[in-house]
């Protein structure tokens, strides 16, 4: 027994992710690592311990500005909004987040997905909103569904959410970054016309496993604690908002609701396919300013699709065949090839 500890538990955790991918590098001559959420891309060679032959972050090829990222830093009353620990319990911030969600859901048709930084924060803010009458106002424009830790409940809520979107009633799904919905569920077409990211989804920094991993990365790979935490949080934010765009003809709003996203050191870590649309006029917005951008974007996307422009970003079968070189004899030796890292969200 351990003095002062009741029911002690030994937890085993892998601190070095390079151990998992090392067998692949050893077995294959060439490895391609590609995803839409690899930014900042220069951190992966350090984390996975390899030297890339090619490292490239690509823009999205589109025939129209199909996504509209907006950074909302304050409510309509000009009070800054953030989920920083010292601000998240501020009733002014809670009220502004509630009013923001109500106004956005009133202006945006069909489905809206809102992500929070943790289950505990979502539960506390939804409880406060209920007392303020925010949920009652919200149900005037959309049905409300909430992700829980129970997989069966969440699956049922997702099914009903889709039915509400199909019927034209519209719905809003309140979910959690790093939860089931953020990882593998797509909200294409009318199932996701907007994703709202309430806060920056940092990991719980008092976690023993995270503290051990941060210390390991600092000691062995000279990766600073704050660099890794920022990298991990912005990757999660990108993964959440990326649920909204799934094809060349799809479109959606990506709303970053936290004053910290206005800082260059934060937003510069977003993928290039988001940054290419994040112009200066979409930064440092209040809720009412953002609503004007939302309405303008939706009017623009409501216009008929220009089929000629659409074809200009698609390859014909002949062009694909021309791009494919003749097969050549593979002379590479496993373990002596190279790795290529690319970041793109081509659909």
Using 50, 70 and 90 to split pLDDT, how confident is the model at 328?
low
Distance CA 218, CA 75 (A): 38
Give the position of tokens 């990326």: 242
CB proximity list for 15: less than 8 A, separation 6 or greater:
212, 213, 216, 217
Q: The tokens of 310 are what?
A: 């659409």
Q: What is the average pLDDT across 21-27?
A: 93
Three-state secondary structure along 217-267?
HHHHHCCCHHHHHHHHHHHHHHHHHHHHCCCCCCCEEEEEECHHHHCHHHH
Question: Is 252's pLDDT higher than 90?
Answer: yes
Mean predicted confidence (pLDDT) in 264-292: 94
The answer to whether residues 310 and 249 touch, using CB atoms and an 8 Å cutoff, is yes
**Tens-place pLDDT, residues 177-231:** 998 887 778 899 999 999 999 999 999 888 889 999 999 999 999 999 999 999 9
pLDDT at 205: 86
Percent helix, strand, coil in the chain, to 5, is 45, 15, 40
For residue 21, how many other CB atoms are within 10 A of its CB?
17
Residues 6+ apart with CB under 8 A from 326: none
- At residue 146, φ and ψ (nearest 5 deg) are -130, 130
At residue 335, the pLDDT reads: 55
Q: In this structure, what DSSP letter does residue 193 have?
A: S
The model's confidence at residue 2, banded by pLDDT at 50, 70 and 90, is low
d(CA 126, CA 135): 8
Write down the pLDDT at residue 333.
Answer: 54
Q: What's the mean pLDDT when you consider all of the chain? A: 89
Q: Which residues of 76-98 are buried (b: 16+ CB within 10 A; e: fewer)?
A: eeeebbbbbeebbeeeebbbbbb
Mean pLDDT on 322-341: 61
Residue 346: band (very low, low, confident or very high) from pLDDT cuts 50, 70, 90: low
Question: Is residue 250 over pLDDT 90?
Answer: yes
C-alpha span between 289 and 72 (Å, rounded): 9
How far is Cα 164 from Cα 194, in angstroms, rounded to an integer?
16
Give the pLDDT score at 9: 81
pTM of the entire predicted model: 0.89
What are the pLDDT digits (tens) for 87-98?
888 999 999 999
Q: Angle CA(57)–CA(59)–CA(64) in degrees, nearest 5?
A: 170
Q: What is the pLDDT of residue 293?
A: 97
Taking CA atoms, 32 is separated from 41, 43, 199, in Å, by 13, 16, 32
Q: What percent of the chain stands above pLDDT 70? A: 93
Enter the tokens of residue 139. Answer: 């149900």
User: What pLDDT, on the 0 to 100 scale, is given for residue 39?
Assistant: 79
Structure tokens at 100: 């923001």
Check pLDDT > 60 for residue 161. Answer: yes
What is the mean predicted confidence (pLDDT) over 6-26? 89
Q: Is the peptide bond before 40 cis (omega within 30 degrees of 0)?
A: yes
Q: CA 172 to CA 170: how far, in whole Å? A: 7
pLDDT score of 76: 92
Q: Are 334 and 28 within 8 A, CB to CB?
A: yes
Would you state the pLDDT for residue 313? 85
pLDDT tens-digit series, residues 72-85: 999 999 999 999 98
Q: What backbone phi and psi angles, to 5 degrees, belong to 75?
A: -80, -175
**pLDDT reported for residue 7:** 77
Burial class (CB in 10 A: 0-12, 13-18, 19+), 202: buried
């Amino acid at each position: 027994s351990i003095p002062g500890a009741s029911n002690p538990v030994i937890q085993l955790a892998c601190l070095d992710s390079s151990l998992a991918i090392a067998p692949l590098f050893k077995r294959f001559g060439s490895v391609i690592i590609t995803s839409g959420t690899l930014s900042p891309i220069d951190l992966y060679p350090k984390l996975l311990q390899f030297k890339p032959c090619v490292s490239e972050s690509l823009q999205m090829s589109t025939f129209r500005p199909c996504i509209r990222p907006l950074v909302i830093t304050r409510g309509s009353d000009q009070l800054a909004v953030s989920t920083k620990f010292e601000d998240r319990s501020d009733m002014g911030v809670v009220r502004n987040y509630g009013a923001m969600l109500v106004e956005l859901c009133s202006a945006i048709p069909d489905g809206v997905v809102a992500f929070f930084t943790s289950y505990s924060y979502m539960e506390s803010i939804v409880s406060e909103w209920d007392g303020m009458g925010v949920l009652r106002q919200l149900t005037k424009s959309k049905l409300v569904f909430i992700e829980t830790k129970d997989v069966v409940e969440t699956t049922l809520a997702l099914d009903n959410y889709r039915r509400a979107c199909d019927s034209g009633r519209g719905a809003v799904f309140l979910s959690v970054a790093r939860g089931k919905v953020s990882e593998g569920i797509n909200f294409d077409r009318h199932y996701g016309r907007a994703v709202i990211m309430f806060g920056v989804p940092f990991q719980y920094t008092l976690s023993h496993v995270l503290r051990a991993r941060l210390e390991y990365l600092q000691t062995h790979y000279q990766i600073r604690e704050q660099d890794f935490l920022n990298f991990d949080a912005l990757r999660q934010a990108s993964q959440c908002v990326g649920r909204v765009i799934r094809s060349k003809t799809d479109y959606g709003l990506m709303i970053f609701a936290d004053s910290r996203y206005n800082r260059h050191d934060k937003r510069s870590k977003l993928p290039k396919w988001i940054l290419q649309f994040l112009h200066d006029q979409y930064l440092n917005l209040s809720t009412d300013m953002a609503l004007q951008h939302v309405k303008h974007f939706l009017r623009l996307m409501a216009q008929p699709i220009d089929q000629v422009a659409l074809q200009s970003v698609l390859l014909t079968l002949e062009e694909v065949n021309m791009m494919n070189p003749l097969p050549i004899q593979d002379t590479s030796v496993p373990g002596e090839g190279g790795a290529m890292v690319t970041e793109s969200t081509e659909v």
